[in-house]
C-alpha cells in the first residue's frame, strides 16, 4: 500500500497519522509519500520570493523552481512537513523514517533545465529550472527499511542522474514508486473527496473509472493539480498497480475510508 497525501490547505495530518498508526500495527507494508505545496507558498511569500506558477505548452501547471525556490521547497517539504509527519508517527509509536527522493537516490530521473511555457497567450522559454521527473526507484533502500520495521515517509525533491536535487511532482513520483514496488493500491489523498464532475459541487463525485476513461477524464474533467493525479493513476495502473483511489484527507480515518471505496476508485478493467 502506498499512501500519497498532498500538501494543500485543509488536510488533517493528525487524522491521517492516527489512521496510519492503526493500520501499521496490522500490516507493516506501507509507504507514505507527502507534499507540502501550501506551506511552500506561504514560506516563499514570507521570505520575499513569492511562488511563480507557470503553464506548460501542453497545458500542465507547475511551480517554476529556480535555485532559491528549490531551497525554500526543501525547507518546507524536507524540514517542516516531513519532520512534522515523522514526529506525529513517532508519538504514536510508529518507527517512521523521513527521507527525500534525493537520499539514497530513492527517486532518480532526468533534470529539465528549461521550461517551455505559455504566458499571456505567448510562448516563452524559462531557464534555470530545477525540475524533472522520476524514472527510476531505488527499491532496495525502501524494502530494507520495511523489512526492518521502519515506515518510510518520502517527499520530493528527487535526484537527477547527475545527483542534483530536482523538484518532481509528488503524485507522479508516488505512482512510479507504486509500480516499482508492485503495490496493490496507491491512494491519493487530498482536500477534495475525489475526482469531481463539477469542482464546485462535492456531490458530483465520480465513483469509478477504468483505464480507458482516464485520458478523457484528464482532459475534460480534471482541473489543476487533479490532472497530475489522473496521469499518475494511469501510469501506475499501466505499470501493474492493482488500483488507485482518490480520497479525502480532511476527514477522520481518511485511509480506511478510501480503502472502503469512498472516493474515486480507478481500476484497469
- The residues of the shown chain that bind its own copies, judged by CB under 8 A, are 43, 46-47, 71, 74-80, 82-84, 86-87, 89-93, 95-100, 102-105, 140-141, 144, 148, 150, 157, 159, 162-165
Q: What share of residues in the chain are helix, strand, coil (percent, to 5)?
A: 40, 25, 35
Burial label for 220, CB within 10 Å (0-12, 13-18, 19+), is: exposed
Nearer to its own copies, 31 or 96 (CB): 96
From the CB of 241, what's the least distance to its own copies, in Å? 26
**3-class SS of residue 9:** coil
Q: What angle do CA 54, 134, 53 make, to 5 degrees?
A: 10
Nearer to its own copies, 87 or 202 (CB): 87
Positive or negative torsion for Cα 198, 202, 203, 208: positive
Shortest approach of its own copies to residue 24 CB, angstroms?
A: 14
Query: Of 11 and 165, which has the nearer Cβ to its own copies?
Result: 165
Tell the smallest beta-carbon distance from residue 163 to its own copies (Å). Answer: 3
CB of 108 to its own copies, least distance (A): 10
Residue 140: alpha-carbon gap to chain centroid:
21
CB-nearer residue toward its own copies: 152 or 263: 152
Nearer to its own copies, 54 or 97 (CB): 97
- Contacts by 118-121 with C-beta closer than 8 Å and gap 24+? 118/55, 118/56, 118/57, 119/54, 119/55
> Minimum distance between the CB of residue 131 and its own copies, rounded to whole angstroms?
15
Amino acid at each position: 500500500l502506498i499512501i500519497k497525501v498532498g500538501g494543500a490547505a485543509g488536510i488533517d495530518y493528525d487524522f491521517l497519522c492516527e489512521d496510519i498508526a492503526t493500520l501499521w500495527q496490522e500490516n507493516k507494508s506501507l509507504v507514505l509519500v507527502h507534499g507540502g505545496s501550501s506551506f511552500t507558498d506561504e514560506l516563499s511569500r514570507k521570505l520575499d520570493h513569492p511562488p511563480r506558477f507557470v503553464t506548460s505548452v501542453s497545458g500542465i501547471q507547475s511551480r517554476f523552481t529556480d535555485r532559491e525556490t528549490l531551497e525554500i521547497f526543501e525547507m518546507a517539504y524536507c524540514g517542516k512537513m516531513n519532520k512534522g509527519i515523522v514526529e506525529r508517527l513517532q508519538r504514536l509509536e510508529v518507527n517512521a523514517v523521513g527521507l527525500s527522493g534525493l537520499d539514497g537516490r530513492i527517486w532518480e530521473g532526468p533534470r529539465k533545465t528549461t521550461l517551455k511555457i505559455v504566458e499571456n497567450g505567448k510562448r516563452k522559454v524559462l531557464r534555470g529550472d530545477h525540475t524533472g521527473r522520476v524514472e527510476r526507484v531505488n527499491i532496495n533502500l525502501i524494502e530494507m527499511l520495511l523489512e526492518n520495521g521502519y515506515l518510510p515517509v518520502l517527499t520530493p525533491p528527487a535526484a537527477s542522474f547527475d545527483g542534483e536535487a530536482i523538484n518532481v511532482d509528488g503524485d507522479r513520483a508516488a505512482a512510479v514508486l507504486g509500480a516499482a514496488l508492485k503495490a496493490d493500491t496507491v491512494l491519493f489523498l487530498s482536500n477534495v473527496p475525489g475526482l469531481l464532475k463539477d469542482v464546485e459541487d462535492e456531490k458530483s463525485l465520480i465513483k469509478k473509472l477504468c483505464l480507458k476513461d482516464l485520458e478523457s477524464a484528464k482532459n475534460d474533467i480534471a482541473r489543476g493539480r487533479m490532472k497530475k493525479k489522473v496521469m499518475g493513476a494511469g501510469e501506475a495502473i499501466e505499470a501493474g498497480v492493482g488500483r488507485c483511489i482518490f480520497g479525502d484527507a480532511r476527514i477522520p480515518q481518511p485511509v480506511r475510508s478510501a480503502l472502503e471505496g469512498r472516493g474515486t476508485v480507478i481500476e484497469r478493467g
